[in-house]
Amino acid sequence: MGERSVAQRQLVVLEDDIQGGEATETLRFAFDGTEYEIDLNDKNAAKLRQAFTFYVDHARKVGSSGRRAASSRGRTTSTGVDNRAVRAWAASNGVELSTRGRIPAAVIERYRAAGN
């Protein structure tokens, strides 16, 4: 029975909730006390992250939805980048950046413009 159940598993393909077609990731966010998930392709995910970046850069972080903060594990944050990777890139490219705290949006933009 074990082999059969493995063979019967189906591949899940996400569909972009904006344009249709294949989505590459599911993004989760909260607004006005309600949590949301949306499946998006790379282009639409980048647009959503860009739209949120301005507000996130001016906001206060209040929690991590019951889990450790993603940045403490080296994963992407709400800005869509790994803070550790941005700090390493900044250090290797002569960009002055504190070792703690929020990374300025201008630095994240430069990081992305460099192809990261």
Domain ranges of the chain: 1-59, 68-116
The CATH architecture one would assign to domain 1-59 is 2-Layer Sandwich (3.30)
Distance of alpha carbon 109 from alpha carbon 8, whole angstroms: 45
**Neighbouring residues of 81: CB distance < 8 A, sequence distance ≥ 6:** 103, 108, 111, 112, 116
Average pLDDT, the chain: 80
| pLDDT over threshold 60, residue 11 | yes
Query: With respect to CATH, is domain 68-116 assigned 1.20.1270?
Result: no
pTM: 0.47
C-beta separation of 63 from 56 below 8 A: no
Angle at which helix 105-113 crosses helix 83-92, to 10 degrees, equals 70
At 104 the pLDDT is: 86
Question: Quick one: average pLDDT of 62-88?
Answer: 64
